[in-house]
Structures are given as structure tokens and as C-alpha cells.
A and B are shown apart, each in its own frame.
With several copies, the nearest count.
Chain A
Amino acid sequence: MDLLNPTPPHPDLRVSIGPLSLANPVMTASGTFGYAQEFETLMNLRRLGAIIVKGISLHPRAGNPPPRIVESACGMLNAIGLQNVGVQRFIEEKLPYLGGLGVPIIVNILGDSIDEYREITERLAESSVVSAIEVNISCPNVKKGGVAFGSDPLMAAAVTGVVKEKAAVPVIVKLSPNVTDVTLIARAVAEAGADAVSLINTLIGMAIDLKRRRPALANVFGGLSGPAIKPVALRMVYQVAKSVQIPVIGIGGIESAEDALEFMLAGATAVQIGTANFVNPRASEDVVDGIGAYVIEEGLTSIREMIGALEIC
């Protein structure tokens, strides 16, 4: 080794989500990163721990009528209505590009019925590019499916069961925060075989256009995301990490390495960057840089030392 020009220290940022090994704990949250290609000229996609794509359903969905988004204090509401190209076109048009990135690709799926979840999982099982499936049981935007699966432990377990049965890869279940006790749902899906849980999805909210005396969103309700929800997300991640044995992935208002590290202290093994991608398209890479620098500055042997390292007096 050249002592005058030592190679820069390589922080050990590796984490495991069940059987899935990641180079670092930073993922992009579903629905906030398109199909990744949108960001290719703005950041280095290969630096990511994993990429989670926009939620995919069995059939294409047109989504909700506009307006679909509105800003709120330190946050935004969205009612995209799960617009997506459907699993078939996703596999044909999007997966080949994603497969070439050399980064684990996690496919977020949603369905209106248990059968749909099963069928979409079967279709994805044929692809070798998919590293894991994230099951959205929590999206508040469509009337059928979403809300019901995510707020009832039995239904949540049922969905988990069928996806797990058909999936060739690890299954992450994404939890809704719009429940009285999120640990009940987390325990139910863990018992049903989930390899990990991710949380939180958006809080159900609403905005009003005073001038027009109408809801600001055509859908009336929308999902609240961004820094505004971070305290709720952090609380739920902490509660769930204490209640289940499987890895927890923290989501909600994460903008910086500091935010990400707080979620890891609370018990998250990995994190997802959502709304921050809109504000700073390089946000996820910045978080990777930041936690690497932290590991070096603090002299940690690995980022894994941070997971659940919160001290309670």
C-alpha cells in the first residue's frame, strides 16, 4: 500500500433484508422514482442499495383524474390512483433497463383481490431481474383493496401468505400508518411469512381550495408524505422493530443521511427515500454518501452497528 496515497476508507454499508444482501441500506420509495430511468442523468443509479419501482398491478391503470397533487406544510398530498402500465408491459418495457443496472430491483405490487396479488406474483416469478417483491397493502387512494388489506391483520396475513407462496424472491410487506396499532398488522404479516416489513406508506389527508370551495384533489382524499410525517414514521418504525423479528425498512420524510440514521437507530435495517427525490433528484445518492461519511467519522466497523442502537434511559 502506498502510504502517501492511502486508498480512501471504504465504509462497510452492507445490510441484509432477510436473504437479500444490499450494498447499502438506501432504497428509493415506490411511486417517487418512476422506473428509475428518469433519474439516470441526474445521479448514479448504481450507487443505490436497491431500487423500488412504481406500484404494479395485474392490468394497466389510468389513475385518478387531475388534480392529483397538492403541496401542504412541509409535505404534499398525492392521489395518483396507482396509475401504472400493468405487469405485462412492466416486464417487457421496464425490467430490461432495470436489469442492466446491477442493483437489486424490488417490485412494488398491488391488487384489488387476493387473486390479483397471486397472479401478479406468479408473473413476476418468471423474471430473473426481480430481487424482491414489496407488497403494497396500504395505498389509501383506491376504493377497493388497499385500505381494507392494510388495516385488518387477517386480510394482511392472507395477502402475505399467497404472495409468499408464489414468490421466488424475498417478500416485503409495506404497512399503512392509518391504523390504531401498526404492530398488530406487522406481527400478523410476520407470522404469515413476510421476510421484512417496510413502513410507512402515506397518511390519509385532505386539502381544500378555499377560493373554489372544493377539495384541492379530484379524489378528495390523498396520501400525505414528506418531512411533515417523519415523526409519525419514526414512532411506528420504532414500535414495529420492537415487535417483530424480521427486518424493518423505514420510510417517511427522509431527506438526509441524518434522517436515515435516525430511522436506523429506531430499528430500521434499511430506509427508503420518497418525496425527497422530487426536491433533490440526487437525494438518495446524497444519503448513501452521508451515511458512508458518518460510518468513517464515527469509526464504526459497519453501518449495522446503528440498527436499533437507540439508547433509552
Chain B
Amino acid sequence: MTQFQEKATVTRRELLSSDNVRLTFQSAKIASAAEPGQFVMIRVGAGKDPLLRRPFSIHQATAEGTLQIYFKVVGRGTAMLAGIREGDEVSILGPLGRGFQLTDSPVCLVGGGLGIAPMLFLATRLGERRSGQIHGRVLLGGRTRMEVEPLLGDFEQTGFPVLVATDDGSFGQRGFVTAIFSTLDLPPDCTVYCCGPEPMMASMAVLSRERHLHCQVSVESAMACGMGACLGCSRTARNGEYVHVCLDGPVFDAEDMAWTF
């Protein structure tokens, strides 16, 4: 698995809501090698502080070298990245990690909050495999309208029907996206793909197990290197052993992970 450290130019900066930013890079090598569910590590500044790169799921990638990330400003690093301008250059390391296992069977993609990020690339690739014959759905959840609506069009273009829930009911159904999932009639060979806040993924793991559905989740952890060198990104697996999110993941079988409620 070849990885690259690339100086990538920001070709587009979209402020999708007050906190949520989408950046498009020209990053030929990384974009063309990327698979859905993989991530990149980005240097957010030129100085020594913040020191470490920040991990972001690959939101979209094309063979032509276009790479996108979609993120929320939660701290210093993301604030610096949000302040970047078109034409600026950043150092990107990737593609990293083990992505989603793609399938030709029916699928259900569930993205909550910023967990929506990797779902677009996944939906695009799954849609391409299915050309015409769509067996699947995309479920998007957010706290409020602005966390979902700006991305709706992109998801609809993948060909999958999209269902939406927001906590405040300002867009789509009121409530959690897991509630929509519970009411859906899914075939037994349906694969569930999920990324979102921990409690949501924990629920999705339980709900999928109850329905005997195979569920893949994309999880997070603190990371220093993103490439298996520091052993810092461990998480506890169901069997009590430690797995490393950057190497063994970020995508895991929901069954294999330990979840706290």
C-alpha cells in the first residue's frame, strides 16, 4: 500500500455552515490512490505549534487528483485549517488506513454529524459499481438543517435515495438517524456502513446485530503518526485486545469493537 506526502494546493474553500468547512485540494497522487473510508493527515500550520498533523476522512477523491475533506472547527488545528485560502499549499499524508469493504449486495449508509464526511466518497464508489441498479439507501443525521442540507445534492448525485433526520427537526425527520434505521425494511444480505459520534455508532452496532446485519464502522482515536509508527491510536477491541485505528482501521466490523454506552 503506497502512501505519499504531498504538497497540495487548495483549489476551493466552501463554508458550508458557520462551523463546517469543505476544502478541495489538487493532490494527484493521494487522490488517485484513495479508497473510501481511508483518511489523510494534514499539517495545519507552518510552525511547531500545533505540532502534529490532524486526521480527516477522505470526503471525496477522483482519479483526476481532486481530493476533498469536510470538517468541523472544534479547536486550534481545525480553526487554522478553516482560515486557509484558495491557492495556499498544505502538506498532506495519505491515503492512510483500511477503508470500507465494498460490496455488490444491498447497502445502507448511515452518517451522523461529521461522520457524514466519508460517506460521500463511499456512496460515489458504491453507486459507480451499481450503475443504474440501486439497492440501497443513504441516511444522514445532524443536529440541525445546516449540518446536512448543504451536502444533500452531492449525495443525491450518487444515485442513492437519501433520508434525513435532524435533532431539532429543522430538516427531514425530527430525532436521531438511528430511529430512521430502525424503521427501515432491509434485506438480510444488506451491509450497513456507519460513521458518526460514538453513541450513534454504538447504537448502530447493537441495532445491526439484532437484525443480523453486517455493520462496518469508521472510528476515531487520538493520532500522532497515522501510519502505524507510534502505536498511539489504540482502541479496545471486543476481545479486550488493542487495535490501532490508523492501521487496523479506521474501518472495523462493529462486532469486533468494544462499545461504551
Chain A: residues with CB nearer than 8 A to chain B? Answer: 31-34, 38-39, 41-42, 54, 62-63, 65-71, 73-76, 78, 80, 83, 226-227, 255, 275, 277-282
Contact = CB atoms under 8 A, between A and B. Distances in A.
Contacts of A69: 222-224, 230, 232-233
Contact of A281 (B49, B93, B234, B235): B93
A38 B231 contact: no
B227 A227 contact: no
Interface stretch (B2-10, B131-139, B145-153, B206-214): B2-10
Contacts of A75: 51
Contact of B224 (A38, A66, A76): A76
A71 B226 CA distance: 14
Given A74-B51, A76-B224, A41 B2 contact: yes
B222 A67 contact: yes
Contact of B52 (A32, A34, A63, A278): A278
A282 B223 CA distance: 18
B53 A80 contact: no
A83 B228 CA distance: 12
B236 A65 contact: yes
Given A54-B231, A278-B53, A278-B226, 18 more contacts: A32-B225, A32-B230, A34-B230, A39-B229, A41-B1, A41-B2, A41-B3, A66-B233, A68-B222, A68-B233, A69-B223, A71-B50, A74-B49, A75-B51, A83-B234, A255-B48, A278-B225, A279-B43
B187 to A, nearest CB: 36
Interface residues of B, number: 32
A83 B231 contact: yes
Contacts of B48: 73-74, 226-227, 255
B93 A66 contact: no
A38 B227 CA distance: 7
A68 B53 CA distance: 16
28 contacts: A31-B231, A34-B231, A38-B229, A39-B229, A41-B2, A41-B3, A42-B227, A62-B241, A62-B242, A65-B234, A65-B242, A66-B235, A66-B236, A66-B242, A67-B222, A68-B233, A69-B222, A69-B224, A73-B49, A74-B49, A76-B224, A80-B232, A226-B51, A227-B51, A278-B52, A280-B91, A281-B93, A281-B225
B221 to A, nearest CB: 6
B229 A32 contact: yes
The 3 closest A-B CB pairs, nearest first, are A69-B232, A34-B229, A278-B225
A291 B91 CA distance: 23
Nearest to A37: B228
Contacts of A73: 48-49
A109 B50 CA distance: 31
Contacts of B3: 41-42
A227 B223 CA distance: 18
